[in-house]
Amino acid sequence: MYEAFYGLSEKPFLMRPDTRYLFLSKGHQAALSMLEYVFMSQSGFAVITGEIGSGKTSLVRRLMKSDRGSLTIGLMSHTMPENFSELLQWMLLAFEQDPSGDNRVLLYQRLCNYLGEQQAAGNRPVLVIDEAHNLSVEMLEHLRMLSNLNADRADLLQLVLVGQAGLRETLSDPACVPFRHRITVDHNIEPLDLEEAHAYIRHRLMVAGVEHEIFSDAAVQTIWEASRGIPRLVNLLCDTALLFGFAEQLTHIDSDLAHDVIDDKRQSLSPV
């Protein structure tokens, strides 16, 4: 609706993850560097956490699209297996293997065969679990046990867990001590600071085809304060601000308009 008015080729602040718009803040860059270390070292688990809307899923998608080299990456997302058989099925599905059947012995053997074949072919399977805060203590223990599979002293499976703060709470359970001992990388993605918020908004506008400033410095600061630096909330406020600005035929978004948007979206901005 407002794209042509602002000279945009598309809406730059949509809520869905899109790797084209991924902005590597200090926190995101650190997470990527740590994941690269885990992959290169071929040992240990990685745990990446962040608030809702902090860009974790976009980071995962960037990882999935990057040059994998000898890595074979499987993705589990929005899954809540209730037992070991379901976990095996989800893992097989993540690696595009046949998940049919409910015999846990056969499912386990199928997974072992696949991992062994990958190792023999010179590939290293990595299982990335997005929304890992949905996993129970029991499922984390099953994953730890499965990761103990090895061949010629090399781990056949590496794990990357990505989730909200609840994942840390689950891992703090005494029953997860053996799992915690296997974690090599543990990183929490912090919200954007003010400087990053400026760069984030500018980056998304440039990807959508606009290089000139649309948001005033004061408007960006107002949006940053209200969003607490959480990218998804920044998107919500910026998208609404562009809509409001178009309705009023304003070529630039100032702090007064930003405050109007915040008043309109106050319920959506409340912490969970």
| Tens digits of pLDDT across the chain (272 residues) | 899 999 999 999 998 888 889 899 999 999 888 887 877 777 778 999 999 889 888 888 887 777 667 888 899 987 788 899 999 999 999 999 999 988 999 999 999 999 989 988 988 888 999 999 999 999 999 998 888 776 454 567 889 999 998 999 999 999 999 999 989 889 999 999 999 999 999 999 999 999 899 999 999 999 999 999 999 999 999 999 999 999 999 999 999 999 999 999 887 787 65
Quote the pTM value. Answer: 0.87
Integer CA distances (angstroms), 188 to 26, 46, 109, in order: 11, 11, 35
H and E: helices and strands count for the chain: 13, 7
At 130, list the tokens.
């997005």
Distance in angstroms (rounded) separating the CA atoms of residues 264 and 241: 10
Domains parsed from the chain with CATH numbers: 3-9+192-267 (1.10.8.60), 26-189 (3.40.50.300)
